[in-house]
Amino acid sequence: MERAVVPDLVGLTAREAHHRAYYAGVLASGVDPDGPPLVVLSPPTAWVVTAQHPAPGTVVERRAFVVVSFAGDREPLRPAPDRLSGASEVEE
């Protein structure tokens, strides 16, 4: 069984993260499996990786998925307020 070391993808553009993961022997994937592939997000420099799992340095099977979260040139989406409890803002 071949192994690969997960690279650090946080702070890279979606396209850069895809390429770095590929050359490290793993596959970068967005949180939404039905979402667009990382290499086609447009424009390629607007989407930046903000988190990843598993963490950098983790040894995994070659071709394992590394799930990344990313944000674009807009505010990240927040959960809707809980109308039943009367909460008006979600704390970060």
Q: Which of 19-28, 65-74, 80-89 holds the top average pLDDT?
A: 19-28
How many angstroms separate the most distant Cα atoms in the chain? Answer: 53
User: Residue 75: its pLDDT value, please?
Assistant: 44
Which residue type occupies 33? P
The better pLDDT of the pair 27, 37 is held by 27
The Cα 89–Cα 42 span in angstroms is 30
- Two tokens at 24? 């490290």
Its pTM stands at 0.70
pLDDT tens, residue by residue, 49-84:
999 999 999 999 999 999 999 887 544 444 545 555
The Cα 11–Cα 48 span in angstroms is 6
Q: In the chain, what are the domains?
A: 3-71 (3.30.10.20)
- CB neighbour list of residue 61: distance below 8 Å, 6 or more residues apart: 1, 2, 3, 4
Percent of the chain clearing pLDDT 90 (strictly above):
42
Q: Per-residue pLDDT for 92 more than 90?
A: no
